[in-house]
Amino acid sequence: MRKFKSINKFTRTGIISYLLVILGFAIIFPLQQLGLINHSLSGQLVPICTYIVMALSLNLTVGFLGELSLGHAGFVSVGAFSGVIAAAGLQDKIAFEPLRLLIAVIIGGICAGIVGLIIGVPVLRLRGDYLAIVTLAFGEIIKNIINCLYVGVDKSGLHISMNDVKSLGMENGKIILNGPQGAVGIDQISSFTAGVILILFALFIILNLVNSKSGRAVMAIRDNRIAAESVGINISKYKLIAFITSSVLAGMAGVVYAMNYSTIVAKKFDFNTSILILVFVVLGGMGNIVGTIIATVVLYMLPELLREFSDFRMLIYAVILIVVMLLTNNEKVKLILSNTTGKLLSKSGKIIKWKGSADNG
Amino acid sequence: MTFLSNLINGISLGSVYAIIALGYTMVYGIAKMLNFAHGDVIMVGAYASYCTMIYLGWHPLLSILFSIVVCTLLGVIIEAFAYKPLRRAGSLAVLITAIGVSYLLQNVALLIWGSTPKVFTSVVNFEPLSFFGGKLTITAESIVTVLACIVIMICLTLFTQKTKIGKAMRAVSEDKDAAELMGINVNTTISITFAVGSALAAVAGVLLCSSYPTLVPTTGSMPGIKAFTAAVFGGIGSIPGAMLGGILLGIIEIFSKSYISTSLSDAIVFAVLILVLLIKPTGILGKKITEKV
């Protein structure tokens, strides 16, 4: 145990989060295969995995870079729809499903990354609430554009139009994206295993980034922008690195999420979804990777567990959200918590200061 | 002629945005927080007015007064229970709490009134005005909305410039600690700001639903977001800025709806906002804040 404590903090977080995910998979996967998990829960597995990745990637922007983004669902949306289009386009060419999913995920990630670059370059110059409102606006713009997009595929390749299905000009083609009705007839090739692999991949990328020279630069910018700039850190470059990594991962999560359903509409990835992901991050603790994973699982399951209260469940969810925020920011509660954690840890000879989940915003 | 009628519709819609944006901008200016629940206060205001008019048969003016009272109380209660304990917390904690309050209001409304849309009866019952032999008609709702907006703007300017409470508000928004040292009760001032903002939200709710009569528990959220962008557009914290931003946003929205594309109009509105912020990062009338190192 003492040996475990002596490992540096980042490696420890890494080990804990990898173990958490692998353990979760090792328990749930056999149960699922044996059919011991009820239908509604087993339908939630892929969404939970993808929401974890979305929350982890948003944590990179909000927790490590310290910039509030209210349009994260926009990147998820770009990834989801480009991935769906790619998978549909490759359906005849690649028969092996996992490979097709992999290529779709990569394409989705690249597309989301490109959008992240286009948005990031001008926007990251803005600060604080202005950055938040611009990301919000971008999320809405992406939703609106995808809502008007028609894409179909036939022998001669992809057809894209902004008007209607007829203007695609296809012969015997298949419609992939049908404007406001969203993507239709998606080949459901994503699985729980794919979701878990994606989480591990996201953890690998984020942990390595955070624990690298670039990651330390990113956190230096968060803690004090002016001081960071004065020691020669290129602010725009590192901000952009974090922002694009975050959008690529979000896009990948979007692909796995979309491929779990037969149809998906652009409205699914609206402002409320962005907020939902942000809530996962803030309650899990900004900059806290293990916390984000746990918060996402608990908060995603919460409305499901409250299902017996049917009409009241979103109400209870809202109340829990408010109460948790009030409690974690209450001085007295903080004091009690720091005392108890302090006592627990002092037995092992080490006292660390307890930090509220959201007090460093 | 379509141009003129579009312009009038735009100004009318923009006036509603402006009234909502005033609430956002005042709260932001003083409490430095984004009150995401503001849009839902609008919805509550509209429902309050709807219920008293339909079920109790009250006169429209009386129902507006009732809805103003309801929203003012609601605003003060929300502030006291949800935001006051977080005065010293980080801005993100307050933001998430505001989102929680917004969900709460929407879901309470859903439980009380259900998800079936209610058809709001207009509070204005004049005939539409007709010009140029019927080529140009202006609805009575548009006229009342624009007039209400102008009156509110004048009253609010006088209130913040001339009255003692208004001066206290400006002082608090300038420097909270210094204001406290000068004997201003910061907490009361913030409560009053919430009360004024919420009262404006009630007016905005009634006017919005008079022009666009479908009333559902999520009615307030989209106009809320747009009004918020309008506040940022004009320079958040500035009252004339909120007014200008709101009206410009309304005009842009109506024009892009009728000349470019109905389904892309929201995208265009937000794209214009982004362009403005990139050129002038503090909004049209926003003050430039120099940073001390």
Q: What is the pLDDT of residue B293?
A: 61
A/B interface, count of CB pairs below 8 Å:
128
Task: Let me know: does B18 contact B194? Beta carbons within 8 Å.
Answer: no
Residue A159's H or E segment, with its range, is: strand A157-161
* pLDDT exceeds 80 at position A309: no
- Return the closest-CA partner of residue A200 out of A60, A14, A46, A47: A14
Residue A177's H or E segment, with its range, is: strand A174-178
Span A288-296, average pLDDT: 91
Instruction: Answer yes or no: is A174 within a domain.
Output: yes
Q: Please list, in sequence order, all residues whose beta carbon lies within 8 angstroms of the beta carbon of residue B276, skipping any fewer than 6 positions away.
A: B233, B283, B284
Establish if B277 touches chain A: CB-CB under 8 angstroms.
Answer: yes
Of the residues A329, A332, A359, the best mutation for testing chain B's interface (the one with the most B CB atoms within 10 Å of its CB) is A329
Q: What is the CA radius of gyration of chain B?
A: 19
Q: What is the pLDDT of residue A3?
A: 62
Task: Let me know: does A218 contact A238? Beta carbons within 8 Å.
Answer: yes
Confidence band for A320, pLDDT divided at 50, 70 and 90: confident
d(CA A142, CA A232) in angstroms, rounded, equals 35
Residue A172 region by backbone torsions, left for phi larger than 0, else alpha for psi between -120 and 50, else beta: left
Token couple for A305 = 């567990």
| Partner-chain residue, chosen from A312, A322, A359, that has the shortest CB–CB distance to B97 | A322
pLDDT in tens, A135-162: 888 898 999 888 888 888 877 777 787 7
Tell me the H-state helices in B163-185.
164-174, 176-181
Are residues B96 and A330, on separate chains, in Cβ contact within 8 Å? no
- Return the closest-CA partner of residue A149 out of A174, A181, A117: A181
pLDDT in tens, B216-274: 888 888 888 889 888 888 888 788 889 999 999 999 999 998 888 787 888 888 888 88
Q: Which chain B residues touch A122 with a CB distance below 8 Å?
A: 274, 278
Burial class (CB in 10 A: 0-12, 13-18, 19+), A34: exposed
Average pLDDT, whole number, for chain A? Answer: 83
Span B148-177, average pLDDT: 91
C-alpha distance from A194 to closest chain B C-alpha (Å): 31
d(CA B241, CA B191) in angstroms, rounded, equals 22
Residue with tokens 């009156």: B151
Instruction: Answer yes or no: is A294 within a domain.
Output: no
Q: Which chain A residues touch B110 with a CB distance below 8 Å?
A: 311, 314
Instruction: Answer yes or no: is A268 within a domain.
Output: yes
Are residues B93 and A144, on separate chains, in Cβ contact within 8 Å? no
How many folded domains does chain A comprise?
1
| Partner-chain residue, chosen from A137, A318, A322, that has the shortest CB–CB distance to B273 | A137
Token couple for B145 = 């909305």
Secondary structure class of A94 (helix, strand, coil):
coil
d(CA A313, CA A142) in angstroms, rounded, equals 30
Question: What is the chain A residue with the closest CA to B94?
Answer: A325
Token couple for A248 = 């690529």
Beta bridge partners of A153: A158, A174
Instruction: Answer yes or no: is A355 within a domain.
Output: no
| Partner-chain residue, chosen from B104, B263, B273, that has the shortest CB–CB distance to A318 | B104
C-alpha distance from A324 to closest chain B C-alpha (Å): 9
Q: What is the pLDDT of residue A316?
A: 79
Sign of the alpha-carbon dihedral angle for B25, B28, B34, B37: negative
Instruction: Answer yes or no: is A129 within a domain.
Output: yes
pLDDT in tens, A171-210: 677 788 887 888 887 888 888 899 999 999 999 999 999 8
- Return the closest-CA partner of residue B220 out of B74, B94, B79: B74
- Return the closest-CA partner of residue B277 out of A11, A189, A129: A129
ipTM entry: 0.83
How does DSSP classify residue A310?
A: G
Q: Show the domain range for A11.
A: 2-289
Establish if B127 touches chain A: CB-CB under 8 angstroms.
Answer: no
d(CA A19, CA A6) in angstroms, rounded, equals 18
pLDDT in tens, A17-43: 888 888 888 888 888 888 777 777 778
Instruction: Answer yes or no: is A345 within a domain.
Output: no
**Cα A109 from chain centroid (whole Å):** 12
d(CA B27, CA B34) in angstroms, rounded, equals 8
Q: Which chain A residues touch B229 with a CB distance below 8 Å?
A: 133, 136-137
Burial class (CB in 10 A: 0-12, 13-18, 19+), A32: middle
pLDDT in tens, B173-211: 888 889 999 999 999 999 999 999 999 999 999 999 988
Are residues A282 and B93, on separate chains, in Cβ contact within 8 Å? yes
For chain B, the structural domain boundaries read 2-220
Q: What angle do CA A223, A227, A232 make, to 5 degrees?
A: 115
Q: Please list, in sequence order, all residues whose beta carbon lies within 8 angstroms of the beta carbon of residue A240, skipping any fewer than 6 positions away.
A: A117, A120, A121, A124
C-alpha distance from A204 to closest chain B C-alpha (Å): 27
How does DSSP classify residue B133?
A: G
| Partner-chain residue, chosen from B91, B229, B282, that has the shortest CB–CB distance to A361 | B91
Strands A174-178 and B118-119, sheet pairing: unpaired
d(CA A272, CA B99) in angstroms, rounded, equals 10
Instruction: Answer yes or no: is A358 within a domain.
Output: no
Q: What is the pLDDT of residue A344?
A: 54
C-alpha distance from A133 to closest chain B C-alpha (Å): 7
DSSP string, A243-312: HHHHHHHHHHHHHHHHTTSS-B-GGGGSHHHHHHHHHHHHHH-TT-HHHHHHHHHHHHHHHHHGGGGGGG
Instruction: Answer yes or no: is A313 within a domain.
Output: no
d(CA B147, CA B59) in angstroms, rounded, equals 20
Sign of the alpha-carbon dihedral angle for A341, A343, A346, A348: negative
Chain B residues 195-254 with CB within 8 Å of chain A? 225, 228-229, 232, 236
